[in-house]
């Protein structure tokens, strides 16, 4: 896939963050610190107050900021002619897989209208329950087997559970930074490009969709169904409890490209 085709994928699914007075183009993925990066971008471009007036910074990003005339043609010009450096925030694939699983588990119980993860919900329900009415939850390992069966490319599953990697992105990205190292990496970018030093609270806070505070239970839960009561009562397994050796191997296989990028950089 050439640079132009890769950019089209990003424009369709994960629109990069770009501003004429900002020296970088920022790439991101759902469930991989996208809120953190978006807030930092709007802080650096002086748009934070305006963004916070909306339901979320993502609403402002997608429905207002990126709807401006020639937004994507400007990005294409900058990237195709190497006029601005491109940075992508990535997350440990093991941690992101758990976060994605908990997100779709919550969605499957709350039965939203036909949008977002609805197609995944239908397929998961049919695969494991032969219909939605009897749905009682799935295990983390069942989630991984679903992704193995369906594929993790963006045109196969919802963006929140799809892989972070988009084919050909290495031709566009100048630098990868990691969510697990976000404070140091953001400070490095601010120093390198002469940007204002932002408070850590701008980009290093957990967001409202983070399940971390609920992950308190010890033990191995890779084959245990995560129920709605567990989610509501904030009584979920610790991160490491989702993984036995089979789950580790499945995750490495399913998110192979994400692991390659994460381990390389």
- pLDDT tens, residue by residue, 56-98: 999 999 999 999 999 999 999 999 888 899 999 999 999 999 9
Sheet of 85-90, strand order? 24-27, 85-90, 175-178
Segments making up each domain of the chain, as ranges:
3-92+164-203, 95-161+209-260
Q: Which residue has the higher pLDDT, 221 or 107?
A: 221
> What is the dihedral angle through the alpha carbons of 152, 157, 161, 162, rounded to the nearest 10 degrees?
40
Burial 30-54 (b: 16+ CB within 10 A, else e): bbbbbbbbbbbbbbbbebbeebeee
Q: In the prediction, which pLDDT does 152 show?
A: 97
Q: How far apart are CA 239 and CA 97, in angstroms?
A: 10
> 26: left (phi > 0), else alpha (psi -120 to 50), else beta?
beta
Report angle CA 254, 260, 261 to the nearest 5 degrees: 115
What confidence score (pLDDT) does residue 209 get?
A: 66
Backbone dihedral region for residue 235 (phi beyond 0: left; psi -120 to 50: alpha; all else: beta): beta
Q: What pLDDT is attached to residue 32?
A: 97
Q: Take residue 213 and report the two structure tokens written for it.
A: 């505070």
Q: Which of 143, 36, 141 is nearest to 90 (CA)?
A: 36
Query: Residues with Cβ < 8 Å from 64, sequence gap 6 or more?
Result: 54
Rounded to 5°, the CA angle 212-209-53 comes to 135
pLDDT tens-place string over residues 122-180 = 899 899 998 656 788 999 999 999 999 999 999 999 999 999 999 999 989 999 999 99
* Residue 8 clears pLDDT 70, i.e. is over it: yes
Higher pLDDT, 74 or 2: 74
Tell me the percentage of the chain whose pLDDT exceeds 90.
Answer: 80
Cα–Cα distance, 204 to 183 (Å, whole number):
7
Between 5 and 241, where is the model more confident? 241
């Amino acid at each position: 896939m050439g640079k132009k085709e890769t950019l089209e994928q990003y424009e369709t699914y994960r629109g990069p963050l770009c501003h004429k007075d900002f020296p970088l183009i920022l790439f991101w993925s759902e469930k991989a610190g996208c809120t953190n990066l978006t807030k930092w971008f709007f802080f650096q471009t002086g748009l934070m107050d305006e963004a916070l007036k909306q339901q979320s910074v993502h609403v402002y990003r997608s429905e207002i900021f990126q709807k401006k005339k020639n937004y994507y043609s400007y990005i294409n010009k900058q990237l195709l002619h190497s006029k601005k450096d491109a940075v992508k925030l990535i997350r440990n694939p093991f941690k992101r897989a758990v976060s994605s699983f908990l997100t779709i588990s919550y969605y499957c119980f709350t039965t939203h209208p036909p949008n977002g993860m609805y197609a995944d919900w239908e397929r998961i329900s049919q695969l494991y329950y032969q219909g939605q009415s009897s749905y009682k939850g799935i295990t983390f390992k069942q989630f991984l087997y679903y992704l193995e069966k369906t594929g993790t490319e963006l045109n196969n599953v919802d963006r929140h559970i799809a892989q972070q990697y988009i084919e050909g992105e290495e031709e566009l990205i100048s630098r990868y930074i990691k969510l697990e190292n976000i404070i140091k990496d953001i400070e490095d970018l601010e120093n390198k490009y002469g940007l204002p030093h932002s408070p850590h609270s701008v980009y290093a806070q957990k967001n409202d969709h983070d399940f971390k505070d609920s992950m308190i239970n010890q033990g191995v839960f890779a084959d245990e169904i995560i129920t709605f009561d567990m989610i509501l009562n904030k009584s979920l397994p610790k991160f490491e409890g989702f993984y036995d050796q089979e789950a580790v191997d499945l995750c490495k296989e399913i998110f192979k490209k994400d692991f390659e990028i994460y381990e390389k950089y």
